[in-house]
């Protein structure tokens, strides 16, 4: 059976990895105004998006892809594949999975499995790459789907921001909203729940350098005695504290002699709409070393 893979633009793998592994991508939408509507990563680069974001008074909005885009993609892929695995942004954060499922129900003569990643950013991307790896190993369709859902519990994401205003205005952080706007110079460490993709509060720390230290401690706790690991480092346009965090964590991983693969990339512009330019963090895929 020949199996194709579809994901969306919030996977943060970059066009190079998507092309290398033959993965199809559907973009989400960024709306700066009724006249300025962009397809994420296709019509506007991450660099251009963040440069624009800091200049606008009103935050851009985002929207899920239409089911019609998925229908067109699935039909085109049906000419080349026997089945499709479609892995997307957590349903708690977006209606993208819903659009994909609506489309799957309209496309006949090919089996389509739409998977809620229960994650975001490279938390989606790493599931997509694992699916690619399992397909290349010749695994059965049902086994691949089952495995992807199982490993969602192995993905841990920690992130923070040094400017709270975007999170406060963005309205997508659920229970973590209690962390915002209370005491001067306090910043949140947030986690994306591996159960459903909900953004959850971890800790509130005073001082930007202490945030780096505490995020490093949390990552080390998760890594523990792992022998294999895939790391995804994510950032906006403000790199000062991101660079400190990434350097310290990579030094630790190499010191522990863990077999690892690593990818650093801009965070999706869609996610950046809600976090702002100072966002940075890490995605840990525990116990798995992917081909990046």
pLDDT in the model for residue 103: 98
pLDDT in the model for residue 259: 98
Per-residue model confidence as pLDDT tens digits over 150-178 = 999 999 999 998 877 777 665 555 545 55
pLDDT in the model for residue 199: 83
pLDDT in the model for residue 177: 52
Per-residue model confidence as pLDDT tens digits over 206-228 = 889 999 999 999 999 999 999 99
pLDDT in the model for residue 167: 73
The per-residue pLDDT of the chain, averaged, comes to: 92
**Which residues on adjacent β-strands are paired with residue 204?**
188
Q: How many Å is the maximal CA-CA distance in the chain?
A: 58
Tell me which of 197 and 146 has the higher pLDDT: 146
Query: What pTM was computed for the model?
Result: 0.94
pLDDT in the model for residue 184: 63
> In the predicted model, is pLDDT for residue 143 greater than 90?
yes
Dump the DSSP string for 63-121: EPPPHHHHHHHHHHHHTT-SEEEEEES-TTT-SHHHHHHHHHTT--SSEEEEEE-SS-T
**Which residues on adjacent β-strands are paired with residue 29?**
39, 63
> In the predicted model, is pLDDT for residue 181 greater than 90?
no
Q: Which domains does the chain have, with CATH numbers?
A: 3-152 (3.40.50.10170), 154-286 (3.30.1180.10)
């Amino acid at each position: 059976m020949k199996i194709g893979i579809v994901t969306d633009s919030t996977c943060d793998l970059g066009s190079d990895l998507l092309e290398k592994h033959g993965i199809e991508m559907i973009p989400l939408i960024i709306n700066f105004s009724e006249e300025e509507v962009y397809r994420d990563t296709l019509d506007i680069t991450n660099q251009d998006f963040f440069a624009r974001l800091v200049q606008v008074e009103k935050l851009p909005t985002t929207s899920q892809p239409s089911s019609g885009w998925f229908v067109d993609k699935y039909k085109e892929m049906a000419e080349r594949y026997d089945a499709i695995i479609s892995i997307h942004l957590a349903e708690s954060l977006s209606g993208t999975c819903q659009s994909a499922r609506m489309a799957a129900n309209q496309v006949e003569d090919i089996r389509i499995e739409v998977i809620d990643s229960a994650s975001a950013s490279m938390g989606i991307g790493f599931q997509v790459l694992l699916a690619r790896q399992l397909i290349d190993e010749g695994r059965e369709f049902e086994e691949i789907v089952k495995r992807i859902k199982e490993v969602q519990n192995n993905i841990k994401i920690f992130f923070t921001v040094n400017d709270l205003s975007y999170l406060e205005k963005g309205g997508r952080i659920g229970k973590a909203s209690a962390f915002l706007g209370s005491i001067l110079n306090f910043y949140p460490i947030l986690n994306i729940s591996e159960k459903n993709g909900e953004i959850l509060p971890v800790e509130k720390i005073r001082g930007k350098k202490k945030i780096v230290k505490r995020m490093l401690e949390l990552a080390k706790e998760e890594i523990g005695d792992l022998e294999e690991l895939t790391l995804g480092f994510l950032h906006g346009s403000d790199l000062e504290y991101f660079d400190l965090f990434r350097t310290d964590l990579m030094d630790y991983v190499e010191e522990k002699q863990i077999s690892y693969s690593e990818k650093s990339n801009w965070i999706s512009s869609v996610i950046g709409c809600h976090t702002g330019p100072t966002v940075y963090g890490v995605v840990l895929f525990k116990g798995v070393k992917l081909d990046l």
